[in-house]
Chains A and B, each alone.
Chain A
Amino acid sequence: MNPVVAELWPYFILIFAGFLPNEIWRILGLVLARRLNEGTELLIWVRAIATAILAGVIGKLIFFPVGALIGIPLSVRIGSILIGLVAYALVRRSVFAGVVAGDAALILGTMLLS
């Protein structure tokens, strides 16, 4: 392979295996959204699908962890989410407080159980 091509090759891979396969869905969304107006019934349905998919991402991360999360017991993963929710509710519906409490619970819980 010539040196310039060899140097740029990882960036071609980034475009064709990373950027475009992901971006295509955003562009399709742009095309489909053209005729939709805010407040229509169809849009409530689409938002429900988007919300359910996001919730699904969370569910999978909790029950089928990746990377370093594999080492954390399932009970600690579920417990930390619940502690985060409780802290969020107690501290004036603060997402920040919930995230800090939940993450601290994950670290402490793992240390206590192992």
Chain B
Amino acid sequence: MSADSVSPPMRSPFLQGLAAAFRSVFAYVLFGTFVGIGALGHDFGFSIWWMVLSSALIWAAPAQVILLSALGTGVGVIEAAIAVTLSGVRLLPMVVALLPMLRTEKTRTRDLLLPTHFTAISMWVESLRLLPAVPREQRIAFCNGLSLGLMLSAVAATAVGFYLAGSLPRIYAAALLFLTPLSFTLSLARNSRALVDRLAFVFGIALAPILAALDIGLDLLWSGIVGGTFAYLIHRLRRAGA
């Protein structure tokens, strides 16, 4: 699916963003992923409204799976909250990297509240790819349209999965879960044009399983800081030498 062409101002930037969401592979990947999450929530005994609301409010599939599994298997609320917050750390650097692309001199902080909440892996990857072609003063509206489209897909899929639960063969459930690593890998491969991004990708994918195997706590956070910093230092050294 190519959504590389962002056509000039014939439509509102919000609608252009919304249309871009459904041209993005992530609208479909999220649908599959959240069918899986909806089914998981049903199996753990949550209500349909609770599930739909949690998809929109948490808006981060890994955190949602952690919360469902924790509450569903009787882990305490405090422990669940800690596990969720540990998985959410990645959102901080993502927001910090995204917002300066959206801002103009006149942007008020409250205009950035929606894009801040909407920040998630899918939206972040697509925003970094598509926003450079969008005029700066239209970027917030475009980004909100894009995010809303992706979120609608996820919320609808949560409800579909909730009602499909139990009738999904195990191999297809696995195929739905596999959409996440597969689509992240391919989108990061597509987005990583600069050396620093490619190195960060390779270091991150190698470090996290190693740290996890060594049973080092906060493995994701450490692989991000160490891998990202090494990638950045190599980028600096190369430029200094060039």
Contacts and interface: CB of A to CB of B under 8 A. Distances in A.
A32 B96 contact: yes
Nearest to B121: A54
Interface stretch (B14-22, B84-92, B144-152, B153-161): B84-92
B67 A52 contact: no
A52 B96 contact: no
B102 to A, nearest CB: 9
B50 A52 contact: no
Contacts of B95: 25-26, 28-30, 33
Contacts of A64: 209, 212
B175 interface: yes
B94 A29 contact: yes
B186 A85 contact: yes
Interface in B192-225: 192, 196-197, 199-209, 212-213, 219-221, 223-225
A55 B208 contact: yes
A95 B1 contact: yes
Nearest to B76: A17
Contacts of A96: 1, 25, 28
Contacts of B87: 22
A94 B186 CA distance: 9
B228 A25 contact: no
B91 A29 contact: yes
B93 A93 contact: no
22 contacts: A10-B50, A14-B67, A21-B88, A22-B60, A25-B91, A25-B95, A26-B116, A36-B96, A44-B196, A47-B197, A50-B97, A51-B192, A52-B200, A54-B204, A55-B201, A55-B203, A56-B204, A58-B205, A59-B209, A68-B36, A69-B178, A103-B178
